[in-house]
Amino acid sequence: MKQVLIFVFLFLFKFGFSPEVFLPINNPGNRSVEEIQLTEIGRFGVWRKDRPKVPGHFHTGIDIMRPSNNYQNEPVFPIAPGIVISKRDDGPYAQIIIEHQLDEMRFWTVCEHIAGILVSVEDTVFPGTPIARFMNRNELNNYGWQFDHFHFEVLKIKPISLNPTHNTPERYYNSYSLSCYTINELNKYFYDPIEFFNLMRG
């Protein structure tokens, strides 16, 4: 997978494109990817054991820890310009899916376990403008402190189309988050976000 990312980056560089990909957390000066701290089991590709109603699967993204002690409005940002194609705002699994087009490169990002969503489907988003926030103390007390992070994915393939419901009227897509039972499936659908950041940010 890393070789594929290197090829894409070299292709874009060859044709004069300088990609601007930012971190999804509050990061003054757009500092190093090392600013991102992950939960204990939040790395990409970690095997997640079976749990009630959820079969074992490979972790398809990264679980990003809160970067400060701000438990009121710690923001979440898009990593690149894009268009919101799906929104779920119904509890601890609240989710935004954004479609990005950077020159010839098309990809999708997912932010999940977020709160205070500030965007709607078809909105155009830009780095530096918050789209949501980490859960606050009241929400964590309600849903559980295991959600004191947000889940972030970078997809290679368009997400799964869904029919919206009464409870989720803007949820038009879902990720392949619980569908990766082999490494081949994981690498077919997803980039490792840390590798993606490192390569796209030079």
Q: What is the DSSP string of 110-159?
A: EEES-BS----TT-EE-TTS--EE---HHHHHHH-GGGSEEEEEEESSPP
Task: Extract the tokens encoding 176.
Answer: 């392949």
Q: So what's the pLDDT on residue 13?
A: 42
| Residues 48-73, mean pLDDT to the nearest whole number | 93
Separation of alpha carbons 74 and 78, rounded Å:
14
Is domain 2-200 given the CATH code 2.70.70.10 in the classification? yes
Q: Under 8 Å CB-to-CB from 181, ≥6 apart: which residues?
A: 55, 56, 57, 58
CA angle 62, 152, 132 (to 5 degrees): 140
Q: Where are the domains of the chain?
A: 2-200
Per-residue tokens: 55: 């079969």
Q: What is the pLDDT of residues 144-173, one digit of tens each?
A: 999 999 999 999 999 999 999 999 999 999
pLDDT tens column, 99-138:
999 988 999 999 999 999 999 999 999 999 999 999 999 9
Residue 23 has pLDDT above 90, yes or no: yes
Q: How many CB atoms lie within 10 A of CB 161?
A: 10
Give the pLDDT of residue 29.
66
Tell me how long the chain is: 202
Q: How far apart are CA 79 and CA 108, in angstroms?
A: 10
- Could you tell me which of 108, 61, 68, 111 has the C-alpha nearest to residue 87? 111
Q: Could you tell me the pTM of the whole model?
A: 0.89
Instruction: Kindly report each contact of residues 187-190 with a partner whose C-beta sits within 8 Å and lies 24 or more positions away, as own/partner.
Output: 187/1, 188/156, 188/157, 189/60, 189/155, 189/156, 189/157, 190/44, 190/60, 190/61, 190/153, 190/154, 190/155, 190/156
Both structure tokens of 109? 């990002």
Yes or no: say if 194 and 59 are a contact pair by the CB < 8 Å rule. no
